[in-house]
Structure 1
Amino acid sequence: MTGLGEHKLEYETVGPFVTHVWLHHKDGHNHYAARPVRKGVRWIRPMQLSKKEQTEYVVCAKKINYWVAVLFMVGSSLFAIPGFLPASLAPAFNVIFFCGSIFFTSAAYLQLVESINKDITNPALFRTQRCHWIRWAWRPKNLGYLSSLVQFVGTLLFNVNCISPFFLVTPLQMDVVIWGSGMLGSICFLISCAFAWLEISRDPMVKPFRSEEWWIVWVNIAGSIAFQVSSAVAFYLPQTGDVFAPVLASVGLTFGAICFFIGAFLLRVEDAIDSQKFIGGDYAQ
């Protein structure tokens, strides 16, 4: 139990990780789950704010989630496009992939910032009186933070994976740097998904096949598995320098990118539904 003057915070955990928090105050209590708060879908009313200030706070909090979704959709589209283009355009694929990786990394960093600033393990979140952003912090008890941090590392590895073909020429170099960074990046994505799933696994409000959160997490899991399969078979043969299984690698990459696009689009759907609830007064406290 953590004190906030007249207010008290009580945490619910999975192992060492906080998944829910109760805010006890003189008028009763409020219950918050980590992921909806992190994504701006279930907002925390800062104490002692007017209705106008509350609205401004919510709009500010939702902006970063908007850009996370948009940047992930653009990046996913760029990773998916080469799968539908003829082989004659293959020389341009590396440029497209590299551009996609930049959008991925930008979105992942914004999501990391979001997880730092919307962290229910941080008591200061409940006292915030204006929307401002801390750009780096250590939040080890927050599964959303760990998921975002590992994902960000994965996107950096994909930056290496996508830019290296412009500089490396031998099969050994390509296997060590290009294939290696792709494999590690895909493993990071899978670990990130595991944290994301654990974050919602005990939330009674998340209904399998019926909740946007459930679909977002599982579509991203499917995309990460597809990326892992694609990376695993994309190593270079030492005799020829050719990719071991180019068709499977391309199909896996394209399918995974489509899954990530759907997951990012569902973030916008989730946010739009929540905005209607806010406008309709469902969150009046």
Structure 2
Amino acid sequence: DAAPGETPEAAAGDERDDVPLMARASSSSGNGIGTGTGVGGGMVALELSSHGDGALGDAVLDDSQWRWRHTVSYWVCVCFILGSLLFVSGCAFWYKKYEYEARERALVTYPFLAGACCFTCGSYLGVFTAVNLGRNGKSVMWEWAPHKDGFLGYLCYLIGALVFNISCIEPLDAFSDLPSWMKREMAWGAAEVGSFFFILGAAVEVKRNGVSDVRAAIEDGTWMTLPFWVSWNNLFGGCFFFIAAVAGRFDPTSPGWVYTTYLIGSMNFFVASSLMMYMWKGEQYGLGFIPSINRVLPIRGYVREGDDGDGKEYRKVSVVQYCFLQAYIALTAASFVDF
């Protein structure tokens, strides 16, 4: 049945998909987002203004223009999970001393390189998502958009991942004849610069989610939300990577300062990316970097929003489905490793 003031055609359009796509918008509130004429469920402001001052007239109601942009955030999660798992694997095998260099490359070098490529792809997809915020027409592959929510954070990640790739290709035969100082800078200098940009990106994420003050977050309960844990795990991951890169310049084979710190940082990134996937399952398509299009809920709150005036129920995250999805991604990561 059509709601008061809503045409039967609009009501039928809202029911085309059981997954709510956008939050209801209204021009009656100051930022154009409220509980007036309907636009759908969980996607606030992706087609509105990315900095929260969009108007109802900016909204695009055609579901077909949304599906790919929802899917992009899913692939961001997949790429980051794959990348972090491959780094965890490479770090775990790094402790062993290998008699044959080819064996070390199969278990350490190539997983690192594949993981770095996955991080790069995920970071670019994040930039792609950010630059298309508020865009009604055809998506663009790139534009300079520092005013867009999430752009600067994802851009820092993309720069960091691109530079970090240099560190991962240094052990390959193609670079074996380079001077020792150049190989050192490729291996550790690039890792330092890349990790520094990871820290910058994560710092942007922490600030954008309003969780930089941990004490205040504990007092007001923000520490129980997923963006808090995503942001801080990403920040710790970047810091541990940076420590490992600096230490590697002086002692490249240190089990404690290099191998272990890289391993801990990789696990931080894995936790963050796994929580990002849980956010996506909970219809928080902005993940950690674009909170303006998220429904901010506690960790255990992904059941329904029945009191917000939109009359829609939101899909509960199935833990079983989530675990199987994680297992599938883990097996995909394992297929990259030549045991």
Are residue 87 (structure 1) and residue 102 (structure 2) matched? no
Match of 1:284 in 2: 310
Over the aligned positions, Cα root-mean-square deviation in angstroms equals: 3.4
Are residue 197 (structure 1) and residue 203 (structure 2) matched? no
State whether residues 68 and 111 of structure 1, in contact with CA within 8 Å, keep that contact through their aligned partners in structure 2.
yes
Which one of the candidate residues 58, 61, 68 is aligned to 2:69? Answer: 61
Q: Unaligned 5+ residue runs, structure 2?
A: 1-24, 35-41, 49-55, 285-301, 312-339
> Secondary structure, in 3 states, of the residue corresponding to 2:282?
helix
**Matched residues in 2 for 1:102 and 1:50: separation?**
35
Following TM superposition, by how much is the alpha carbon of 1:48 offset from its aligned partner in structure 2, in angstroms?
6.8
Following TM superposition, by how much is the alpha carbon of 1:60 offset from its aligned partner in structure 2, in angstroms?
3.2
> Secondary structure, in 3 states, of the residue corresponding to 2:142?
coil
Q: Unaligned 5+ residue runs, structure 1?
A: 1-22, 33-39, 119-124, 238-242
In structure 2, do the counterparts of structure 1 residues 229 and 25 end up closer, same or farther at CA, with 3 Å as the change threshold? same
State whether residues 153 and 185 of structure 1, in contact with CA within 8 Å, keep that contact through their aligned partners in structure 2.
yes
**TM-score, normalized by length of structure 2?**
0.61
Match of 2:325 in 1: none
Percent of aligned pairs sharing the same letter: 22
Give 1:153's aligned amino acid. I
Higher alpha-carbon Rg: 2
| Within-5 A mapping of 1:66-81 | 66-81=74-89
Shifted more, 269-278 versus 134-143: the winner is 269-278
Are residue 233 (structure 1) and residue 268 (structure 2) matched? no
Match of 2:131 in 1: 116
**Matched residues in 2 for 1:50 and 1:143: separation?**
17
**Matched residues in 1 for 2:68 and 2:256: separation?**
44
Q: How many equivalent residue pairs?
A: 241
> Secondary structure, in 3 states, of the residue corresponding to 2:208?
helix
**Matched residues in 1 for 2:115 and 2:234: separation?**
17
State whether residues 90 and 109 of structure 2, in contact with CA within 8 Å, keep that contact through their aligned partners in structure 1.
no
Following TM superposition, by how much is the alpha carbon of 1:254 offset from its aligned partner in structure 2, in angstroms?
1.2
| Within-5 A mapping of 1:124-143 | 125=134, 128=136, 132-142=138-148
Which one of the candidate residues 178, 181, 185 is aligned to 1:172? Answer: 181
In structure 2, do the counterparts of structure 1 residues 31 and 211 end up closer, same or farther at CA, with 3 Å as the change threshold? farther
State whether residues 237 and 268 of structure 2, in contact with CA within 8 Å, keep that contact through their aligned partners in structure 1.
yes
**Matched residues in 1 for 2:81 and 2:192: separation?**
22
Instruction: Please give the per-residue CA displacement for 1:130-179, whole angstroms capped at 9, x wherever unaligned.
Output: 6x421111112346211111110000011111112211454312222221
Give 1:262's aligned amino acid. V
State whether residues 140 and 146 of structure 1, in contact with CA within 8 Å, keep that contact through their aligned partners in structure 2.
yes
State whether residues 223 and 260 of structure 1, in contact with CA within 8 Å, keep that contact through their aligned partners in structure 2.
yes
**Matched residues in 2 for 1:283 and 1:185: separation?**
45
Following TM superposition, by how much is the alpha carbon of 1:284 offset from its aligned partner in structure 2, in angstroms?
3.2
The structure carrying a bigger strand percent of its residues is 1
| Within-5 A mapping of 1:37-56 | 42-44=44-46, 47=56, 53=61, 55-56=63-64
> Secondary structure, in 3 states, of the residue corresponding to 2:139?
coil
**TM-score, normalized by length of structure 1?**
0.72
The structure 1 segments of at least 4 consecutive aligned residues displaced by more than 6 Å after TM superposition are: 48-51, 202-206, 275-281
Match of 1:214 in 2: 228
**Matched residues in 1 for 2:47 and 2:307: separation?**
13
Following TM superposition, by how much is the alpha carbon of 1:280 offset from its aligned partner in structure 2, in angstroms?
7.0
**Matched residues in 2 for 1:113 and 1:78: separation?**
24
Match of 1:250 in 2: 259
Match of 1:5 in 2: none
State whether residues 151 and 188 of structure 1, in contact with CA within 8 Å, keep that contact through their aligned partners in structure 2.
yes
**Matched residues in 2 for 1:178 and 1:226: separation?**
16
Match of 1:4 in 2: none
The structure carrying a bigger helix percent of its residues is 1
